[in-house]
Amino acid sequence: MTRVWRLLGWTFALLLLAMPVVAVVNGWIGAERWPIRTLALQAPLKLVDEATLRSTIAPMAQGGFFAVDPVAIRQSVAALPWVDAVDVRKRWPDRLEVRLTELRPYAHWGEDRLLSDDGRLFVLPAGLATPLPRFDAADGRVAEVIAFHREARPVLVRVGSDIRELRLSARGGWSLTTVDGLQVELGRNDALPRLSRFARLLPTLGRDPAGRVLQRADLRYTNGFALTWGEPAAAPTAPPASSNA
């Protein structure tokens, strides 16, 4: 019986010793003595809202230095829109460092999403305005659209133009609109070779003697293409001459 009481006594003593440690680690006590005073966000933020980031971290840092769980913070921050990677570290005695990298937007996808350069789709952050091109295709063809854009864009850039919109239809037909508003139908087969041949003529076509504006080019022909021209831009009207009485 004496051995049982001795064992219970030692167990109780160990519990008394362990309880303060458990309490500190869980933030039950010690938050005032070892608080987190500095939250360092070591990243230039463009898409991730800093206020949202801080409000996500703050509740998990209230228990004090020893109670902060870097893994839990990392998981919560990683769930925010446009966060790619997160690293969280505690620095004695009162500093919490959060490093993060953002996803890099590559294009608009449809009306309300953005596409990252590694092919992930995200909801368009409110109020974000970007000069990115717009892609329109089924979600399952993201990789195909990115690959085509990376090959087609230099073809137009070399002749002083660029892609404003790129579309891939359900039947696999490609079409695009340039930054100048020219609509180009490429079709399903040999889209890039067709675009390359046509792009070589763009500088010449842009100098129409009659002043007409090229609006649409249909390249879906074996030997040539069809062009649609707009009316010449109206010359500005000169203001009436003033006369002195």
pLDDT band at 209 (very low <50, low <70, confident <90, very high): confident
**Predicted pLDDT at 4:** 54
For helices 50-57 and 70-78, angle between their N-to-C axes, nearest 10 degrees = 150
Please answer whether residues 103 and 115 qualify as being in contact, where contact means their C-beta atoms are separated by less than 8 angstroms: no
CA 116 to chain centre: 5
User: 31 pLDDT exceeds 60?
Assistant: no
Distance CA 190, CA 221 (A): 11
Distance CA 187, CA 221 (A): 9
User: 182 pLDDT exceeds 70?
Assistant: yes
pLDDT band at 190 (very low <50, low <70, confident <90, very high): very high
User: 18 pLDDT exceeds 60?
Assistant: no
Question: Residue 73: CA atoms inside 13 Å, Cβ hemisphere, count?
Answer: 26
Q: pLDDT, tens digit, for every residue of 170-180?
A: 999 999 999 99
For the chain, give the mean pLDDT: 83
Query: How much is the pTM?
Result: 0.71
Distance CA 53, CA 56 (A): 5
The region, left, alpha or beta by phi > 0 then psi within -120 to 50, assigned to residue 190 is: left
Please answer whether residues 171 and 158 qualify as being in contact, where contact means their C-beta atoms are separated by less than 8 angstroms: no
